[in-house]
Amino acid sequence: MGTISAVLMFINVPLPFLPPYLRLDISDLPALIAGIMFNPFAGVAVLVIKNLLHLLLTAIYDPIGAAANLLAGLLLVFPVSFLFYKYKSKKSVLIGVILGTVLMTTGMSVLNYYVILPAYSMFMGWEEMTDSVKQSTVLAGIMPFNLIKGIFAGTIFYLIFLRLRKWIEKKRTI
């Protein structure tokens, strides 16, 4: 699942109204599926494998981006898989998708403002970003991107989950 997830990272599209470095992909879907099929830590393991493979294959010069992707994935995948693992219902998956999207949107906004954007500035040898530049980057780019990504991935995952639910339940009892 981690390898599939890493391959899916290569299938991405920029959103026309956001900065070009923010690209939408469905690479968190295998982690969501693993988290539901097995347990939350399986979903986390898929995210770690995905980002390690991506780092080794392409992002060796961008470890900050790989770390940011891992953090975003954790904020989305863990709530969904944890709530399903605990309650095992369609409602728990839906609440998990909503909670994960909110956590990813707010968490990545805060992390970008205080950690990721300053780390990029330092790593790239840029001038330190002013608070207003960081704030506009977060509000005009990071926040809407993560909201769209959470809604997009969450919706696709929920539709897949509805189709696979009986199969997943049957496999869990074996």
User: Residue 129 to residues 19, 113, 119, 122, 168: CA-CA distances in angstroms?
Assistant: 17, 10, 10, 10, 47
CATH number for the domain spanning 149: value is 1.10.1760.20
Instruction: For residue 14, give the 3-state DSSP assignment.
Output: strand
Range of the domain at 121: 2-13+22-173
pTM listed for this prediction: 0.91
Query: Could you report the per-residue pLDDT of 103-135, keeping only the tens digit for each?
Result: 999 999 999 999 999 998 888 788 888 999 999
Q: Provide the domain count of the chain.
A: 1
The pLDDT, as a whole number, for residue 59 is: 60
Does residue 89 surpass a pLDDT of 60? yes
Where on the phi/psi map is residue 11: left (φ > 0), alpha (ψ -120 to 50), or beta? beta
